[in-house]
Chain A
């Protein structure tokens, strides 16, 4: 039992971080970022290149992932999403663009990093063992705590910094924020960069534990969508709750349902559909997004 909870918390911390980036981009620009999973994979490969190929410390790899992905997010916002949002008749058009970016990143990852599964050498050796009740390698514990620290840092940033306040205003009401003198274009760009950066950071963290491969992008996006549906799209607390709930469900499901074959995700999906039938806006979302 303790083991299941520990696994769930570890998974949940990573998931919440992925969902945070997605929900931030959604709340600011009303864009459903299909490329989020690919950004996550890209971040993982950047860390891999820096750490395993160039032999630099893991922290440098993480920083490189963060910087490169943030730059990628900013470029995507300024040169792709902004012009399309301004000129398109329906705001759903950005979905095509996001899907195009997802395909594009997949192609770039394939060409630059190849299709092999990649990982970096263990950053910490040893296994934590509490009386055979919780067994967890130290590197997983470290990654879990790093993820939690990043979540806390992100919330603090959104809550107390000037930029964070501007972005929250933007998410609440774009027009009103603009009238209050918030530079909408600038903060949209920063928000997109920040969201992409979070995806890249999780990729960098995960490459140290489970490794990363090209095929992980799409499924990660689907999982991230589920998390923000559970919690409510565009709500930061919702994304965190969704991430932890999904992590916990996965951990419990894999243990309890393993006797019935590979049906954990089927059960999770089905219960999500039932849940949404009763509460369409998720746990904490505002009705109709």
Chain B
């Protein structure tokens, strides 16, 4: 079992880092880079949502943090002259900090109450971006420079994106690297003491508190990590599109983040990644259906829910169970 898991992981890494670029180069479908980069970035955001599901909270507010991270990066780059590589962690940390302030009161809510408040939060973020002077209102911030070179101690680790022959490939590799790192972190959290504590919160918060788990601290911590993921995915999104508007991340995006988790499966670490790939890629493929795109997409989603209410990855359990 152990070796087969390692083999699977190696295959996965080989596929995303080598096979996908090779295949794209061979078939000439360069447009797929954008799609796959988006999938990778969105799956980082949904990894955060998944983590809040893990403590039993339904989070429909990830769009707010993606927007916030994007704006922090855009403002720092255009107005304070920061490098992209500095804004990447800063955007995430800013979101984590804000989420602590927001999380302390609202994490006392549960079930649909928490879900609805986070949904409202997405609207708050959008309206704030419209109202604040620093975000430039509805006009948004445009012509944000591409990521520059990253060098530590004179050694250039990553060349300037603007001078590259193929920045799309570079963005793809960046997004995929971040995705792999995020899921490694997620996996580590789930398989640690923190993960055990999270599961105890998911099952019964009062009981967990009664045996000495600091539930208030724990849920704020988890929410902050989750928002960090949302923030960094927003930062890279802004770097790719080189622009950000208050409508860059709206309620629909927040709902989508949640749906990706559901479709993949809430009890599997890789769930949000699989869900994002299926839904986003599926949506992209369905553009051929034109007017009927939405109809087919939503019907497929409903059908999926009827057949596999516990997510696509629950198929693995079924196969495992039969053996």
Contacts and interface: CB of A to CB of B under 8 A. Distances in A.
Contacts of A262: 130-131
Interface string A218-231: 10001001101100
A34 B295 contact: no
Interface stretch (A43-51, A94-102, A153-161, A198-206): A94-102
Interface stretch (A6-14, A106-114, A182-190): A106-114
A229 B259 contact: no
A96 B259 contact: yes
A251 interface: no
Nearest to B130: A262
B112 A111 contact: no
B266 interface: yes
A110 B290 CA distance: 12
Interface stretch (B5-13, B156-164, B178-186, B305-313): B305-313
Contact of A269 (B112, B113, B124, B305): B124
Nearest to B121: A273
A104 B292 contact: no
Interface string B93-117: 0000000001001101111110111
Q: Dominant SS at the B interface?
A: helix
Contacts of A233: 112-113, 116
Contacts, number: 138
Nearest to A288: B110
Contact of A93 (B112, B255, B295, B309): B309
Interface residues of A, number: 48
B117 A229 contact: yes
Nearest to A79: B306
B298 A107 contact: yes
Given A84-B306, A106-B294, A107-B295, A277 B105 contact: yes
Interface in A67-91: 80, 83-84, 87-90
B127 interface: yes
Interface string B104-144: 01101111110111011101100110110000000000000
Q: How large is the interface on B (under 10, 10 to 19, 20 to 34, 35 or more residues)?
A: 35 or more
Contacts of A222: 119-120, 123, 251
Contacts of B262: 92-93, 95-96
Nearest to B267: A89
Given A93-B309, A100-B305, A225-B120, A273 B106 contact: yes
7 contacts: A103-B301, A104-B299, A107-B293, A218-B252, A273-B121, A280-B109, A280-B113
Interface of A: 26, 30, 32, 34, 80, 83-84, 87-90, 92-93, 95-97, 99-101, 103-104, 106-108, 110-111, 218, 222, 225-226, 228-229, 233, 261-263, 265-266, 269-270, 272-273, 276-277, 280-281, 288-289
Interface of B: 53, 58, 102, 105-106, 108-113, 115-117, 119-121, 123-124, 127-128, 130-131, 251-252, 255, 258-259, 262-263, 266-267, 291-295, 297-299, 301-302, 305-306, 309-310
